[in-house]
A = this chain, B = another copy of it.
Amino acid sequence: MNKLHFRRRARMNAFEKIQSLYGEISDLGNASALLSWDQQTYMPPRGATARGMQLATLSGIIHERMTSPDLGGLIAEASGGKLTGDQAAYLRELSFARDRSMKLPAALVKEMSLEESKAFEAWTRARKLNDYGIFAPHLARVIELKKQCAECWGYAETPWDALATDYERGLTASRVESIFRPLREATVKLLQQIKARPQANTRFLDQKWDIDRQREFGLRVARDIGYDMAAGRQDLAPHPFCTNFGMGDVRITTRYSQTSLLDGLFGTVHETGHAMYEQGFDPADARSPLAEAPSLGVHESQSRFWEVRIAQSEAFWKHYYPILRQYFPGQLDDVMPEEFYRALNIIEPDFIRVEADEICYNLHVIIRFELEVGIFRGDLSVGDIPAAWNKLYKEYLGLDVPSDTLGCLQDVHWAYGSFGYFPTYTLGNIYCAMLVERMERDMPALWEMVAQGQFAPILQWLRENIHKVGRRHESAELIERVTGMPVTCDPLIRHLANKYRHLYGF
């Protein structure tokens, strides 16, 4: 009994040492995230070079510490003993991340970080000047380095799979293809049916919408749905995002345009959905690998839930339309609530993903996914991306892309080497639709609550079922545990068909 007692203490000590070591790694990750946040919000242009080096140094130290033999020995020691479920999950996540890091040489990590900083600067200029040529050599270099990563990590089918698993564990190009195919087919068909119907009136949206008022209204909605502003803030940035430096400091960025009332609002609500997830992890999981989403797809299910399913629903505007009218006095007096609801749900293929409607959005994603697979299967060269991009936009969305700024230069992701990232947006929509069907069964009064502006029980449901769980389960497992179904696009297709049949009357 004494012996057992001592063995248990020894195991606890190893685990506690791991917590302390990883706690510092987590601190460094948070520091690094703040440097990136600042890079995209407030950093003056001439700070870029030094910032790149600072980020490279931090990621070098994180890598060094993640791959240190000390940590390896402790993980082996701790894993040898009896563990609680949470401890086992902690070690599983840490080991996975550690193995990923171990397989990458430090020099490659550092080079990637430097190249990505340069590629980001080049992308910014290229997009501004509509000059893909500025970006192309940097993109080629980033892809080359990412291929090297994939070789280090190993993969069963295509190098893309090795990259995608950073965002969605175990995802493969062929699995995505099989999940996306029925969605793409249903969506293209739905789009044709919608195109045959008369379009809703949106002319009243072509007004000047005061940016301060937009910001106030957006922040009001963010607060109402449950964003804790004592643990968050909103800033302006050219590309909206959410980041955090611990669950007590979760920030969002938004961009507002005077000519668009809805983009800024839905962007804000989208990032707020991400932010509330990060604010909702179990405080006991702070500085641990469990205080994270299991995947970007699950993360996106939260942002899309609030952005699309809540803030673009009829019930939501029953509550908020009178309030919105007060924020913009005189500008919406002649617009009936039904007219407004139709206008904000207008389906109209256009060039920019982040401004896309609920149906087209997934096609934007599917196009990027297909191009990425082409790049990493070796069927598509960097120089041919603009042409391939434009061809798919014509095929799926019926659009002639007028410029690369409105085409393949619109997204920052590839500059950051984030290949395998885009599909998680549509996986998010798929998970979200599955969760909503479950939520409707658990809370039959769901939409009445939304219509009364009561969001607390809804956030509470997400807290319990998704947020607090953190990274205890992998994404597909988590979604199946909560919804009782394996991952499928059927609920999403059902939702889209129901909603837009009703709106467009077919």
Contacts and interface: CB of A to CB of B under 8 A. Distances in A.
Contacts of A61: 24, 28, 61
A265 B35 CA distance: 29
Interface string A224-260: 0000111111010000000001111101000000000
B43 A31 contact: no
Nearest to A228: B46
Contacts of A46: 228, 230-231, 248-249
A144 interface: no
A27 B57 CA distance: 7
Given A24-B60, A61-B61, A248-B49, A30 B44 contact: no
Nearest to A57: B27
Nearest to A50: B246
A162 to B, nearest CB: 29
Interface string A42-63: 1111111111011011101100
Contacts of A216: none
A191 B434 CA distance: 77
Classify chain A: how many residues form its interface, as a range.
35 or more
B27 A54 contact: yes
Nearest to A60: B24
A44 B245 contact: no
A374 interface: no
A286 B50 contact: yes
Contacts of A395: none
Contact of A51 (B38, B57, B230, B245): B245
Contacts of A60: 24
A125 to B, nearest CB: 15
Interface in A367-400: none
A16 to B, nearest CB: 16
A279 to B, nearest CB: 9
B248 A44 contact: yes
B248 A50 contact: yes
A247 B50 CA distance: 8
B47 A249 contact: yes
Closest 9 CB pairs of A and B: A47-B249, A50-B246, A46-B248, A46-B231, A27-B57, A27-B54, A24-B57, A47-B248, A46-B230
Interface of A: 23-24, 27-28, 30-32, 34-35, 38, 42-51, 53-54, 56-58, 60-61, 228-233, 235, 245-249, 251, 286-287
23 contacts: A24-B57, A24-B60, A24-B61, A28-B58, A28-B61, A30-B54, A31-B32, A31-B35, A31-B57, A34-B35, A34-B54, A38-B38, A44-B229, A44-B230, A44-B231, A44-B249, A44-B251, A47-B245, A47-B249, A50-B246, A51-B245, A51-B246, A53-B287
